[in-house]
Structure 1
Amino acid sequence: MRSFLRQFRCTSCLSFSLLLAAIGAAGQNNETPAASASSSQAPRQPVPPKPPALVDPAGPAISLETSEALFDVAIALNTCGYDQELESSDPLRQRIRDELNQYLQGSAEARDARDRVCTYIAGHRLADSGRDLAQYISLALYLTPPPELTPSVDLTEMPPDSTQVVEILPLLRSFAEAAQLHVIWVANRNAYEEEVNRLHDPLTKMILATNLYLKMPAGGYDGRRFLVVIEPLLAPSQTNARVYGTDYVVVASPVNGSINMQQVRHTYLHYEIEPLLFARASSMDRLLPLLKSVREAPLDYTFRSDIVALTIESMIRAVEARTLDTGIPEVKAPTPDLRRVDLERADRERTAYLQKVGAARQQAVDTAMSQGYVLTQYFYDAFGSFERDSASLKESIGEMVYGMDVESQISRAKHVQFSKTGTSDVVTHASRQLHGLDLAEMKLIKGDKAGAAQLAQAAIDQKSGDPAYADYILGQVALLSGNMDDAQARFGDAVRLSKDPRTLAWAHIYLGRIHDVEEEREQAVAEYKAALTVRDGQADTKQAAEKGLKQPFALPHQADSSDEGTSPAPVKPK
């Protein structure tokens, strides 16, 4: 690195150091992946993935659905060897398989179409049976109804795992037509509707009980959807839950009118709690040291690298422990009209009952802690106070998060004995394939300057993306390359062209820092003031701009070691 820096003039050296200080260049942070991600270069809000085909923007916030597209995919899997948990499935699954087999016996065309589908499925089988099924469910949720069975969004907007098997669609359409799957669907549609009717009351009861505990109205977030999609042709134990932007979808297989309501409820808790914590994501950086303590925990990578995800899951598991149905027969509190001797006996029995329930619920907390969800105990205790208060979770969650003594939680986490095996979360946040400026942003984060610059410049040349954000990315590439003049020009273009408040505000901030480094304080102050007038509304923007107004931006070797403002990187919103 030193020999590299010696090739530049002094101004270029300063620009390179400026970028390292201001936006956390790759390789400087050796703590955790999350710590690096929290210093991301990109200031803009991520674009949420488009909703699955089943989501009706004008429909109810919470619904119970069936899907003929999912039925076609599931019946294809069944006829091609997907027999998992067949014996424990609802009898409807075997009945539909028998109907299809009977038709196939009399149609060579249908058998040929089936064989082509089965050859494809066999050639794309994954070693993990759960992931193997998941890729087809991801695909099915984004398909238009038969006979089209085409993706409802562009392939670039599809969940990445679904695109691994998207080439099955022509084969699936031919099979559906040759085997007359629509006829089988119509013949069994009443049975599906009966399953929906049987599940309506239990699902409603679960949702009402959950919201009663949280003291929040059901479906209280405008524009967000929670869908439960039933498909009896799938294994009953394999509940698939996905989050597509603001839409939460659970695919479950009923057996005799029952589904794994615990996993459905777990997903519903994500639906209710996640928006409340995501809104406070930028304030959770102080919890980042907790990630060091869970490096050896049997957690999925997401929870070991993302403090917000770890916090959310810990809170959800705390709620589940607090509301756990222990199966212990309830002993009601004694009434005052009992005789003294009976009252004392009833008190002892009630106390013993509460102790047993408390021990069972504490065991659930201990299990979650040993699996790496190290804030579960904190939130379990916090919800004890929450239960005695009249405020809703929406009103109380701020105090839970901001009032946390982080040092004590870090100390507690250091003493947790982690188990050797853990459990994966049923909920998967569906990612999307990156392209264009999103891919350029990721390349820049990973240190691929040339790749980021090429994609950003292509977006400008081809007019295929936001030109202001492309200039913003090119400005950062210029800083990394030691070209202060080009960086200043690019950020200036971003200011001139941008209509996005966040990109505009941060372009002003970086221009201010550049002016400060070049000892042009008057121009720097003007840029910081301009950043504040944009009214981006994000705390990190306001903090960085106000910091710049109070004192000139200083490089690490120039600043006082106690100054925490020398690395005021914008935290990418979750």
Structure 2
Amino acid sequence: MSFPTKSFFRRHPLLLSLCLASSFLLPYCGLNAQSSSSSSSNPDNAPDATAPKEPPTKVAPRIAQPEAGGSAITLETSEPLFYLAVALNVCGYDTDLANSAPVRLKIRDEINAEVADSAEARTSRDALCGYVREHTLDDASLNLAQYISLALYLSPPPELTPTVGETELPPDSTQVVNILPLLRTFAEDVHLNALWIEHRSEYEDLLKRVHDPLTKTILASNIYLHLPVSSYDGRRFLVLLEPMLAPSTTNARIYSNDYIVVTSPAGQPLGAVHMDDIRHIYLHYEVEPLVYSRATAMERLQPLLKAVQDAPLDYTYKTEIVPLITECLIKAIEDRTMDVGLVKPAKPTAVKQRAEIEQYNAELSTYEHDAETVRRKAVDLAMRQGWVLTEYFYNQVGQMEKDSVSLKEYMGEMVYGMDVERESHHARQIAFLPSGSRDVLRRAPQQLTGLQLAEEKIYKGDLTGASDIATKVLADPNGDHAQAHYVLARVNLMQRQPGAAFADFQEVLDSSKDPRTLAWAHIYLGRLYDVKDDRRKAVSEYQAALTVRDAQPDTKAAAEKGIKEPFVAPKVAQQAKDEDDDDAPLDPSGKAEKDAYRPPPPH
């Protein structure tokens, strides 16, 4: 392990705060905070000016790069995000203006003055705002989210260009990507970079105000879960502060290994943010890898999905067990550590009479009873909102707390020790509420078309519909033929035509460039070879899946499990072997194929 230098501590006080706060974290001092912008247009004013300047390199598709050997957790600002937030403010985005930090109104007034004095600025503003109006969505949160998604993949001004190809941008951002030429013109006409520099000190002040509460939140979470705060290992948790946005809204998303929270500080008290929302995403950052590391154990938990089909949950949680388990566990942790709104009695420091101890114990007992009542109400609410394993995990986390072990150590026992039949029965008895919980990570609902719609039809059992869509795509010279073959391959499996499935999977391997599709095509082929009792070829396919380097944990887990032991679909292997027929049914009921060859989780 390499340790930070003194100059590193001077530049990154969050690391020093965490290390000094608890001896528990001293071996893990890999956490820092950067009060910095993603912009390189003004290095003299950058707060990290003491850092050595890196030679120009190709801009990576991420908003900022962690320092080598540095932290996975950062607190930053972003000039591209500032530019887009300013554009929205200029064009009528007034949400929560009265509760915003004073700098938001200052910048708005200064821009209005620039526009009033310049015909060019008025012209570019009108063009910019015309575009914004034409692309306004009915859902205000989704309308804002599309611009934030775009900002996260932009190079610093004045270029303001996407750092990846359009097909690699977040889907919602592609709806507004053509705002960029208009934004560049407007920014030049109102001298937006000068405003950014002028108000940097106010941004830095707000970062400092958020710094300590964020530090305490992260520290408390890691101490409770007995998890170290580790240095950057390819994953990161990024908090972006932008005062030009509404402080009432937290916008969060997960892009591959990046967990990003965009938040805005309030004016009263100055610098206040929704720390509960930030902590929720941080728990995703800590908990998800631990759940995915048990991905091979998830197959037996699939029956739980049937119990939530009528729950007010997003489609993902009704069709994928790992996200459902992750969210239930996070809610259980939040309920265990929530502020119950009660004053805990203070233990007497100097006791002269036994009666004082007895009174304290009685008051403490009453507090613990009342606090548990509050927590149990929160658990019950979560269960009725569709998070059907919250109570189970709440009890398990309570035991983990008593045993004083880490979540990492206890995760296996929680997952493997679950009585699935009992929990499924319990979930079926719940009277779900008509609407669910507010989700900080809510993704924009999209109208599924083409092969996306085919994937959904596969899951719902409409194999004919999925096959028809894939066949039409193959007939289109410009269609995604590789993905269409991938759909047809799984349809053929579920229709008990493994021979045809082999051919389609081979077409996928010959034509697809998508790592996830390629990896799972190899995994499916490996399982088919296992069913046909050709272990050598099966292992070869599983090994090939690992070489594709799909970043998702479930891919690695499935391939490694295939290498370790042969795949056997229920009621399959002996029948296929006895019939010795390439097109023999893998399972007369078709259930085995639907369970064993269900689509993997999406990107």
TM-score (norm 2): 0.74
Equivalent residues of 1:287, 1:406 under 8 A apart: yes
**What amino acid is aligned across from residue 553 of structure 1 in structure 2?**
A
Structure-2 residue corresponding to 1:98: 109
Cα distance between partner residues in 1 of 2:345 and 2:598? 51
Q: Deviations over 1:233-266 (max 9, x none)?
A: 1111110011000101100001212111000000
Question: Judging changes above 3 Å, is the alpha-carbon distance between structure 1 residues 121 and 435 closer, same or farther for their aligned structure 2 residues?
Answer: same
Equivalent residues of 1:440, 1:452 under 8 A apart: no
2:285 is aligned with 1:271:
yes
Structure-1 residue corresponding to 2:371: 357
In the alignment, which of 541, 545, 551 is matched to residue 574 of structure 2?
Answer: 551
Q: Deviations over 1:59-103 (max 9, x none)?
A: 631000101111110111001110011111111111111111111
Question: Judging changes above 3 Å, is the alpha-carbon distance between structure 1 residues 158 and 332 closer, same or farther for their aligned structure 2 residues?
Answer: same
Residue 342 of structure 1: how far off its partner (Å): 2.1
Structure-1 residue corresponding to 2:337: 323
Cα distance between partner residues in 1 of 2:337 and 2:274? 16
Question: Judging changes above 3 Å, is the alpha-carbon distance between structure 1 residues 343 and 89 closer, same or farther for their aligned structure 2 residues?
Answer: same
Identity of aligned residues (%): 45
In the alignment, which of 357, 378, 382 is matched to residue 368 of structure 1?
Answer: 382
**What amino acid is aligned across from residue 93 of structure 2 in structure 1?**
Y
Equivalent residues of 2:496, 2:586 under 8 A apart: no
Q: Deviations over 1:17-61 (max 9, x none)?
A: xxxxxxxxxxxxxxxxxxxxxxxxxxxxxxxxx853334474631
Residue 128 of structure 1: how far off its partner (Å): 0.7
Residue 551 of structure 1: how far off its partner (Å): 3.4
**What amino acid is aligned across from residue 525 of structure 2 in structure 1?**
A
2:155 is aligned with 1:144:
yes
**What amino acid is aligned across from residue 394 of structure 2 in structure 1?**
Y
Paired residue secondary structure (1:551): helix
Structure-1 residue corresponding to 2:321: 307
Cα distance between partner residues in 2 of 1:52 and 1:471? 32
Structure-2 residue corresponding to 1:124: 135
Question: Judging changes above 3 Å, is the alpha-carbon distance between structure 1 residues 253 and 490 closer, same or farther for their aligned structure 2 residues?
Answer: closer
Equivalent residues of 1:532, 1:542 under 8 A apart: no
Question: Judging changes above 3 Å, is the alpha-carbon distance between structure 1 residues 209 and 459 closer, same or farther for their aligned structure 2 residues?
Answer: same
Cα distance between partner residues in 2 of 1:175 and 1:506? 52
Question: Relative contact order (alpha carbons < 8 A, sep ≥ 6): 1 or 2 greater?
Answer: 1
Structure-1 residue corresponding to 2:17: none
Q: Higher mean Cα deviation, 283-292 or 161-170? A: 283-292
Cα distance between partner residues in 1 of 2:593 and 2:488? 23
Q: Higher mean Cα deviation, 245-254 or 342-351? A: 342-351
Aligned 1:519-558 pairs, distance under 5 A: 524=534, 527-528=537-538, 537-539=559-561, 544-545=566-567, 551=574, 553=576
Question: Judging changes above 3 Å, is the alpha-carbon distance between structure 1 residues 433 and 160 closer, same or farther for their aligned structure 2 residues?
Answer: farther
Structure-1 residue corresponding to 2:462: none
Structure-2 residue corresponding to 1:46: none
2:76 is aligned with 1:84:
no
Structure-2 residue corresponding to 1:402: 416
Cα distance between partner residues in 1 of 2:384 and 2:498? 50
Residue 425 of structure 1: how far off its partner (Å): 1.3
Question: Judging changes above 3 Å, is the alpha-carbon distance between structure 1 residues 395 and 128 closer, same or farther for their aligned structure 2 residues?
Answer: same
Structure-1 residue corresponding to 2:471: 450
Residue 382 of structure 1: how far off its partner (Å): 0.4
2:529 is aligned with 1:507:
no
Cα distance between partner residues in 2 of 1:510 and 1:341? 73
Question: Judging changes above 3 Å, is the alpha-carbon distance between structure 1 residues 264 and 456 closer, same or farther for their aligned structure 2 residues?
Answer: farther
Cα distance between partner residues in 1 of 2:110 and 2:371? 49
Cα distance between partner residues in 2 of 1:455 and 1:111? 46
2:223 is aligned with 1:215:
no
Equivalent residues of 1:216, 1:394 under 8 A apart: yes
Question: Judging changes above 3 Å, is the alpha-carbon distance between structure 1 residues 180 and 399 closer, same or farther for their aligned structure 2 residues?
Answer: same
Cα distance between partner residues in 1 of 2:316 and 2:432? 17
Cα distance between partner residues in 2 of 1:209 and 1:264? 13
Structure-1 residue corresponding to 2:189: 178
Aligned positions, number = 510
Cα distance between partner residues in 2 of 1:268 and 1:497? 38
Residue 105 of structure 1: how far off its partner (Å): 1.2
Cα distance between partner residues in 2 of 1:142 and 1:57? 19
Structure-1 residue corresponding to 2:399: 385
Paired residue secondary structure (1:350): helix
Aligned-pair Cα RMSD in Å: 4.0
Equivalent residues of 1:234, 1:253 under 8 A apart: yes
In the alignment, which of 281, 295, 300 is matched to residue 286 of structure 1?
Answer: 300
Equivalent residues of 1:51, 1:244 under 8 A apart: no
Cα distance between partner residues in 2 of 1:541 and 1:275? 21
Structure 2 unaligned residues grouped into runs of 5+ = 1-59, 460-465, 547-558
Q: Higher mean Cα deviation, 190-199 or 242-251? A: 190-199
Residue 368 of structure 1: how far off its partner (Å): 1.0
2:253 is aligned with 1:239:
no
Equivalent residues of 2:535, 2:566 under 8 A apart: no
Cα distance between partner residues in 2 of 1:483 and 1:410? 32
Cα distance between partner residues in 1 of 2:433 and 2:591? 37
2:126 is aligned with 1:115:
yes
**What amino acid is aligned across from residue 225 of structure 2 in structure 1?**
L
Structure-1 residue corresponding to 2:74: 63
Residue 339 of structure 1: how far off its partner (Å): 2.2
Equivalent residues of 1:243, 1:429 under 8 A apart: no
Question: Judging changes above 3 Å, is the alpha-carbon distance between structure 1 residues 571 and 281 closer, same or farther for their aligned structure 2 residues?
Answer: farther
**What amino acid is aligned across from residue 419 of structure 2 in structure 1?**
D
Aligned 1:4-15 pairs, distance under 5 A: none
Paired residue secondary structure (2:98): coil
Cα distance between partner residues in 2 of 1:482 and 1:381? 43
Equivalent residues of 1:282, 1:571 under 8 A apart: no
Structure 1 unaligned residues grouped into runs of 5+ = 1-49
Q: Deviations over 1:472-515 (max 9, x none)?
A: 778668879999877666767889999977644643543565xx
Question: Judging changes above 3 Å, is the alpha-carbon distance between structure 1 residues 432 and 147 closer, same or farther for their aligned structure 2 residues?
Answer: farther
Question: Judging changes above 3 Å, is the alpha-carbon distance between structure 1 residues 338 and 221 closer, same or farther for their aligned structure 2 residues?
Answer: farther
Paired residue secondary structure (1:96): helix
**What amino acid is aligned across from residue 78 of structure 1 in structure 2?**
N
Cα distance between partner residues in 2 of 1:495 and 1:176? 46
Residue 452 of structure 1: how far off its partner (Å): 5.7
Q: Higher mean Cα deviation, 499-508 or 154-163? A: 499-508
Structure-1 residue corresponding to 2:362: 348
Equivalent residues of 1:156, 1:434 under 8 A apart: no
Question: Judging changes above 3 Å, is the alpha-carbon distance between structure 1 residues 185 and 258 closer, same or farther for their aligned structure 2 residues?
Answer: same
Q: Deviations over 1:164-184 (max 9, x none)?
A: 011111100100011111111
2:64 is aligned with 1:54:
yes
**What amino acid is aligned across from residue 197 of structure 2 in structure 1?**
V
**What amino acid is aligned across from residue 574 of structure 2 in structure 1?**
Q
Residue 141 of structure 1: how far off its partner (Å): 1.1
Cα distance between partner residues in 1 of 2:242 and 2:444? 20
Residue 398 of structure 1: how far off its partner (Å): 1.2
Cα distance between partner residues in 1 of 2:340 and 2:212? 22
Structure-2 residue corresponding to 1:45: none
Structure-1 residue corresponding to 2:275: 261
**What amino acid is aligned across from residue 291 of structure 2 in structure 1?**
L
Equivalent residues of 2:328, 2:393 under 8 A apart: yes
Structure-1 residue corresponding to 2:29: none
